[in-house]
């Protein structure tokens, strides 16, 4: 079978989901080929740009595309944010021009079609009916045919995780179904899981998609490939023939998934909870063994633990038995991080940066969200991580149902007070998961028009609506001098995926 990771996703590292599936296929002797159509498609568009721009920026961007791609693979470009920003924006400019003819707003991180919405199944079906209208068509129409001939298979899976991949996924599926009518198509991944966890899900893609898979795909895929009935114990991920040197990062990033779901699984706004995704973790001994083998094989510059939240037990295991390369990932703010010795041990293990979801600087809002965070502990954790030399990427969320302007102001003050111990900030406005428990208690309306939309708009119970939240963020929060200094450091487009390379400790 062939497993494809479709465009468009930030092309900084290989996709971990299909690597896990290849590992499972290897263990059962099933032939499988991985294709990262995201990095291949982006590089192909950048190489074949035949647009002759008329503006100075466009001319410069086309002329320097190879130089800018090379710069993003060298660490020195990450030492000067202006140089890095210019390289990223120039590459985006070339992609923007490549998509413009087809009404597509295209970048290194996004794909938006002016006439087609990724949250409407009818529009996805239309994308499948007109694959030639997709800017990646010249790439995938040549590549997919060759692949099918080489692999002699009629089973193709797509790993669809983000909305930015949806229209391209269906354009590729449409091409395959038109050109090779006997082909069987499977789709899975995070976005497909979210669709299928919606109450009353009914596959609207019959005739195009033969099987939709929610959650881990190993079992259903092995069954399709004829290994039905066999158990699927944890297997070593295999990145196969993915082009590890092509990703836009200074050195190879090894993404690794030690769990699906979340061990906490209580935060009120979290899609993981709304979708009732079960928590399944790889035993920590297996994680250590996997990482040891993968580090030996791939020699990464950085390990990205892609769990929703790395468990304290796994962090403890890393502290005792370092994974062998610098690493980073998402962590909840727990008592452990308020212990300086624990932070020092993490640093010693190679921990470069932790992404932490603080969400609010008001204890009442945090409690209403069931984050399970104590602000005093959060304060000590941030200070200890700084003392230990571990970078922090702090996530804040404004406009939740329990917040008003007063609580938002407390978040501003907490952030400003801790500005010297926060390296990067992600500031977001709250989206209400359409089918979570909270949606039942609020007055809601469609957020995006579309049968596949995952969020709903709501009337804020305290009148703190999105418009007011945005005004507060633009006019107060982001104008605070110590906060704006942090926000200016955020790597454009790649954000947290490239943030570790901006730390002096890297």
Query: Which residue lies nearer to ligand SF4 by CB, 86 or 332?
Result: 332
The least CB distance from residue 332 to ligand SF4, in Å, is 5
The least CB distance from residue 429 to ligand SF4, in Å, is 16
Other Cβ atoms less than 10 A from the Cβ of 24: the count is 26
Q: What is the DSSP letter of 501?
A: G
Q: Which two tokens stand for residue 397?
A: 């969320």
d(CA 417, CA 110): 34
Between the two ends of the chain, the Cα-to-Cα distance in Å is 39
Q: Which two tokens stand for residue 305?
A: 């633990």
Question: Which residues lie closer than 8 Å to 341 by C-beta, 6 or more apart?
Answer: none
The least CB distance from residue 260 to ligand SF4, in Å, is 11
The least CB distance from residue 210 to ligand SF4, in Å, is 31
Contact residues toward ligand SF4 (CB under 6 A) are: 262, 264-267, 270, 272-273, 308-309, 332, 357
The least CB distance from residue 2 to ligand SF4, in Å, is 31
Distance set, CA 356 to CA 33, 164, 383 (Å): 35, 24, 13
Question: Which residues lie closer than 8 Å to 142 by C-beta, 6 or more apart?
Answer: none
Query: Which residue lies nearer to ligand SF4 by CB, 311 or 497?
Result: 311
Query: Which residue lies nearer to ligand SF4 by CB, 268 or 409?
Result: 268
The least CB distance from residue 480 to ligand SF4, in Å, is 25
Query: Which residue lies nearer to ligand SF4 by CB, 210 or 370?
Result: 370
Tracing tokens 């390379």 back to the chain, one arrives at: 501
Query: Which residue lies nearer to ligand SF4 by CB, 260 or 302?
Result: 260
Q: Which two tokens stand for residue 382?
A: 């941030």
* Spatial CA neighbour of 109 closest among 84, 92, 123: 92
| Burial category of 480 from C-beta neighbours within 10 Å (exposed 0-12, middle 13-18, buried 19 and up) | middle
Query: Which residue lies nearer to ligand SF4 by CB, 346 or 397?
Result: 397
Query: Which residue lies nearer to ligand SF4 by CB, 279 or 447?
Result: 279
DSSP string for 299-353: --SEEEE--SS--HHHHHHHHHS--SS-EEEEE---GGGG-HHHHHHHHHTTEEE
Q: What is the DSSP letter of 489?
A: T
The least CB distance from residue 445 to ligand SF4, in Å, is 24
Query: Which residue lies nearer to ligand SF4 by CB, 103 or 278?
Result: 278
The least CB distance from residue 216 to ligand SF4, in Å, is 17
């Amino acid at each position: 079978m062939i497993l494809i990771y479709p465009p468009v996703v930030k092309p900084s590292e290989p996709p971990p989901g299909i690597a896990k599936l290849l590992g499972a296929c290897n263990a059962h002797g099933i032939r499988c080929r991985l294709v990262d159509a995201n990095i291949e498609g982006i590089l192909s568009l950048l190489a074949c740009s035949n647009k002759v721009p008329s503006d100075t920026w466009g001319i410069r961007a086309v002329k320097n595309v190879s130089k800018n791609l090379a710069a993003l693979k060298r660490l020195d470009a990450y030492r000067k944010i202006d140089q890095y920003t210019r390289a990223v924006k120039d590459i985006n400019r070339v992609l923007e021009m490549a998509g413009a003819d087809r009404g597509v707003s295209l970048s290194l991180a996004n794909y938006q079609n002016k006439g087609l919405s990724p949250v409407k199944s009818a529009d996805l079906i239309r994308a499948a009916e007109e694959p030639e209208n997709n800017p990646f068509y010249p790439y995938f129409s040549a590549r997919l045919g060759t692949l099918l001939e080489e692999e002699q298979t009629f089973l193709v899976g797509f790993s669809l995780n983000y909305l930015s991949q949806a229209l391209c996924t269906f354009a590729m599926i449409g091409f395959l179904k038109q050109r090779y009518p006997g082909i069987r198509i499977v789709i899975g991944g995070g976005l497909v899981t979210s669709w299928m966890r919606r109450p009353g899900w009914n596959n609207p893609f019959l005739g195009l998609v033969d099987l939709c898979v929610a959650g881990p795909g190993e079992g259903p895929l092995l069954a399709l490939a004829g290994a039905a009935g066999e158990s699927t114990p944890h297997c070593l991920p295999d990145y196969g023939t993915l082009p590890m040197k092509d990703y836009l990062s200074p050195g190879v990033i090894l993404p690794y998934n030690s769990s699906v779901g979340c061990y906490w699984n209580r935060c009120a706004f979290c899609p993981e909870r709304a979708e009732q995704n079960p928590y399944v973790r790889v035993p920590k001994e297996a994680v250590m063994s996997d990482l040891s083998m993968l580090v030996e094989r791939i020699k990464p510059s950085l390990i990205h633990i892609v769990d929703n939240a790395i468990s304290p037990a796994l962090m403890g295991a890393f502290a005792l038995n370092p994974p062998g390369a610098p690493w980073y990932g998402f962590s909840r703010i727990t008592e452990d991080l308020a212990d300086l010795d624990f932070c020092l041990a993490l640093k010693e293990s190679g921990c470069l940066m932790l992404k932490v979801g603080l969400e609010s600087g008001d204890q009442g809002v945090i409690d209403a969200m069931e984050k399970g965070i104590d602000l005093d502990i959060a304060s000590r954790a941030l200070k200890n991580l700084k003392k230990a030399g571990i970078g922090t990427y702090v996530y804040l969320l404004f406009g939740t149902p329990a917040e008003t302007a007063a609580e938002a102001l407390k978040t501003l003050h907490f952030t400003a007070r801790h500005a010297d111990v926060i390296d990067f900030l992600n500031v977001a406005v709250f989206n209400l998961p359409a089918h979570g428990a909270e949606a039942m208690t609020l007055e809601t309306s469609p957020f995006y028009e579309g049968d596949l939309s995952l969020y709903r708009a709501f009337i804020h119970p305290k009148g703190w609506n999105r418009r007011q939240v945005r005004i507060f963020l633009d006019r107060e929060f982001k104008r605070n001098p110590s906060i704006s200094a942090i926000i200016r450091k955020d790597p454009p487009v790649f954000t947290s995926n490239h943030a570790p390379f901006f730390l002096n400790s890297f």
